[in-house]
Structure 1
Amino acid sequence: MTVRSEPVLVWDGAIRLVHWLMVLLVPLLWWTAEEGHMDWHRRLGLAMFGLVLFRLLWGLFGSWTARFAPMVRRIGALPSHLARLRQRDSTPSFGHSPLAVLSVFALLLALATQVTTGLFSVDVDGLESGPLAIMVSFETGRQFAEVHEFNFNLLAVLILLHVAAIAIYRFVLRQKLVKPMVTGRRPRADFAGADLPDNRARPAAMIATAIFSLACVWALGNFG
């Protein structure tokens, strides 16, 4: 008789919700900009700002796999991790692997740059602008807009690399990464009896962080 392994929490609900909302918002932001629906582009941009702010704060106050400090400590293991990948060693990491840590940091930096530049951007006619564009000159607003456009292309490349890595893990290393990001859990046996860190969800911290992020979104949306 096969004994089923008890599942353990890897990704808390906040991480999963933010992740999938970002997946939804990125193409919507691209489409609204391309089609000239700038009112919706601004609204969705503010929503993305709130998600990025929440994720950055959750990296300080969230569950163990959400926090940045343990992720940074894993970067030192990148050479050995790459060596194992070359040998097709697909032993799962509890949380982000060293290579995934670099991907997460690159994506968050690109998203933070995108929403920040969008706040100050001005179009060529000066008719459409971000909520904080009144704080800078027209020329500076145009410079922000140029960085905003260039950075989106960089973000798109990072997203494609991220999707390609997931596909490689799924079809080459036979490791499913999407399902745990939906359910939040993996079988305890996946981690080969390792002593796992305390990764309990933190609902009080999540609510406080969400309220603060929403308050910042509201303040930006009503600025000026």
Structure 2
Amino acid sequence: MNAQTVRVRVWDLPTRLFHWVLMACVIGSVVSAKIGGNAMAWHFRLGYVVFTLLAFRLLWGLVGGRWSRFASFLYAPATLRRYLRGASRPEEGHEVGHSPSGALSVFALLALLGAQVGTGLFADDEIANSGPLVRFVSSATSSLATGWHKHWGQWLILLLVVLHVAAILVYRFKRGRDLVTPMLTGDKLLDAAVPASADSLATRALAALLVALCGGGVAWLVSLGG
């Protein structure tokens, strides 16, 4: 830390809310699925919320705050190799937003959650619960979707969550970097020259509009199942 170190807004409020609401929904989805029975109604509702959040994050990755945009953490293979060797260049600023390994985790989790939501729309346990769009696919396709949703998809997501938590602990206790507090407050102590993410009332209003549009799109898609 030096005299030029200041608090810089890295994670805008929409990104922070996305992160924590998504975490709560994933936990709730797993728990409700394990309980079964009447709790499955909440499993479906939470799944639709996750769908909405993922759609929003894809859009926010294009128009959100600087460090939330995919362009800020879409690293070249050479950059990733340097990072894994501990030979990152000072100007690459991996301590600001997502590091190269963190970026891989983010993309993997978004992809897996997308696959989980997608297969859930067509899944059918042939007992009491079926996805809203199951009537649009064959029984064989629905069976494949159900198998992924109930087995591979679930366990891969849980594995990524465990690795994510483990990485946070490693950064905190071995590298002395707190990744949780910035995701709560939005700020990091960084060099004054580091550009901040936009996080004004206007950007938050845009995020709210995008969430509303994504939610409406998800509701429309689900309604197609009748």
TM-score by length of 2: 0.86
Q: Is 2:201 aligned against 1:200?
A: no
Verify the 8 A CA contact 1:65 1:95 in the aligned structure 2. Answer: yes
The structure 1 residue matched to 2:60, chosen from 53, 58, 61, is 58
Amino acid at match of 2:171: Y
The 3-state SS of whatever aligns with 1:17 is helix
**Contact 1:170-1:176 within 8 A present in 2 as well:** yes
Could you tell me which runs of 5 or more consecutive residues in structure 2 were left unpaired when the two chains were aligned.
none
Counterpart pick for 1:169 among 149, 168, 171: 171
User: Could you list the per-position Cα deviations for residues 4-50 of structure 1 after superposition, in whole angstroms to 9, with x for gaps in the alignment?
Assistant: 94311000111110100111111211111111122111111111111
Structure 1 counterpart of 2:133, one-letter code: L
Q: Deviations over 1:119-156 (max 9, x none)?
A: 1111133x311111121122321210101121110111
Distance change in 2, residues 1:133/1:213 (3 Å): same
2:23 alignment partner in structure 1: 23
Instruction: Tell me the C-alpha RMSD between the 2 structures.
Output: 2.2
Separation in structure 2 between the aligned mates of residue 76 and residue 181 of structure 1, nearest angstrom? 28
Contact 1:33 1:41 in 2 (8 A): yes
The amino acid across from 1:137 in the alignment is S
Distance change >3 Å, CA 136–CA 31, structure 1 → 2 = same
Amino acid in structure 1 at the alignment position of 2:109: L
Q: 1:203 corresponds to which letter in structure 2?
A: R
Quickly say closer, same or farther: Cα 1:155–1:120, change in 2 above 3 A. same
User: For residues 46 and 30 of structure 2, what CA distance do their matches in structure 1 show?
Assistant: 10
Q: 2-side partners of 1:204 and 1:164: how far apart?
A: 34
Q: How has the CA–CA distance of structure 1 residues 76 and 69 changed in structure 2, closer, same or farther, with 3 Å as cutoff?
A: farther
Structure 2: how far apart are the matches of 1:197 and 1:34? 44
Query: 2:133, 2:222 within 8 Å by CA — same for their partners in 1?
Result: no
* Aligned-residue offset at 1:186: 1.0
Aligned equivalents of 1:130, 1:102: Cα separation in 2? 30
CA contact (8 A) 1:61 1:205 kept: no
Q: Cα gap change, 1:116/1:48 in structure 2, threshold over 3 Å: closer, same or farther?
A: same
State the Cα distance separating 1:75 from its structure 2 match.
5.1
Distance 2:4 2:176 in 1: 20
Distance 1:97 1:184 in 2: 16
Aligned to 1:160: 162
The letter of the residue matching 1:157 is: L
Q: Which runs of 5+ in 1 are unaligned?
A: none
**1:37-186 → structure 2 map (5 Å cutoff):** 37-73=39-75, 76-84=78-86, 93-125=95-127, 127-149=128-150, 150-186=152-188
In the TM superposition, residue 204 of structure 1 has moved relative to its aligned partner by 4.2
| Whole-angstrom distance in 2 between the partners of 1:43 and 1:213 | 15
1:161-195 Cα deviation digits (max 9, x unpaired): 1111110000000100000000000123xx4x5x4
Task: Provide the aligned length of Structure 1 versus Structure 2.
Answer: 214
Contact 1:50–1:217 (Cα < 8 Å) also in 2: yes
